[in-house]
Every structure is written in structure tokens, then in C-alpha cells.
């Protein structure tokens, strides 16, 4: 079973699904199944954190480069807000981890903003200056 996992992942997934459907639980590759299930959860978390980073990046650029504001940034902010909200609605248990993800994503966004704007990282607030509700509010744009 493990050999198939290593040599034909797609085939392995189909085989595991068939075993589950037929109730053949004793034949399941439980070790690899557990790892894959945990990996799926981690990818959901990573996606949300990545969306938050892009959202924070564009909010920072909006706040610190007012002369560069444009429709593109506005649409990116709106898109990321929708995608964050959708991910949270599909996986509401991720809300418990929002504080940590916000801190991590905001820290990454500072570095991205510094790279994209040419400004020093110290230009930007060290911790996120906005509440999550503000960040997700479709009317909110920092000035």
C-alpha cells in the first residue's frame, strides 16, 4: 500500500476512497491517510494566511503610497476580502487561529511592501494597525 502511495499517488487516492466506500477499513493505509488529511488542513490554513498577506500588502501600499492608488489596488483589496471571507465560511474553525495568522501575514506583508515600494520596513507599523473587522469591511480604506 505504501509503495503505491510513493509511486502512483492518484491511484493510491482512488484505492483509499474505494476501500472507505466498501467499509474495508482494515486495509486502509492509515499512516499516509492521516498525513494527507493533516496536509489538507494545513493547506487551507496556508491559503488563508497567503490571502491575508496580499490583503495587508495592498492596504499598506494604499496607506503609504496615496499617489499610487488606483483601481487595480482597489480591486485586489476587494478580491482578497472576498476570498478570505469565503475561506473562513468554508472552514470556520480557522477563525480560532486568526490572531496568529494575522500577526504572521502582516509581518510578511511589511517585507513585501518594503520590496514593492522601496520604503524601509521601519516605515510601516510594527504590528497591524487595523482590526480584522476593518480589514474585512468593504468600505474601509486606510488614509
pLDDT of res. 70 = 96
pLDDT of res. 102 = 97
- CA-closest candidate to residue 88, choices 45, 42, 141, 43: 45
- CA-closest candidate to residue 88, choices 68, 107, 109, 102: 102
* Positions in the chain short of pLDDT 70: 1-2
pLDDT of res. 143 = 87
pLDDT of res. 3 = 84
pTM confidence score: 0.88
- CA-closest candidate to residue 44, choices 110, 97, 99, 117: 97
pLDDT of res. 2 = 65
pLDDT of res. 1 = 60
Amino acid at each position: 500500500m505504501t509503495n503505491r502511495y510513493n509511486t502512483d499517488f492518484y491511484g493510491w487516492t482512488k484505492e483509499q476512497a474505494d476501500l472507505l466506500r466498501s467499509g474495508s477499513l482494515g486495509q486502509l493505509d492509515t499512516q499516509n491517510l492521516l498525513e494527507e488529511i493533516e496536509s489538507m488542513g494545513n493547506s487551507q490554513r496556508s491559503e488563508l494566511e497567503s490571502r491575508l498577506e496580499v490583503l495587508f500588502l495592498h492596504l499598506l501600499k494604499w496607506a503609504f503610497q496615496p499617489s499610487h492608488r488606483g483601481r487595480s489596488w482597489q480591486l485586489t483589496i476587494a478580491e482578497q476580502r472576498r476570498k478570505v471571507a469565503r475561506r473562513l465560511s468554508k472552514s470556520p474553525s480557522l477563525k480560532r487561529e486568526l490572531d496568529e495568522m494575522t500577526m504572521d501575514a502582516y509581518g510578511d506583508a511589511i517585507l513585501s511592501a518594503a520590496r514593492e515600494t522601496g520604503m524601509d520596513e521601519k516605515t510601516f507599523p510594527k504590528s497591524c494597525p487595523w482590526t480584522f473587522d476593518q480589514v474585512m469591511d468593504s468600505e474601509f480604506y486606510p488614509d
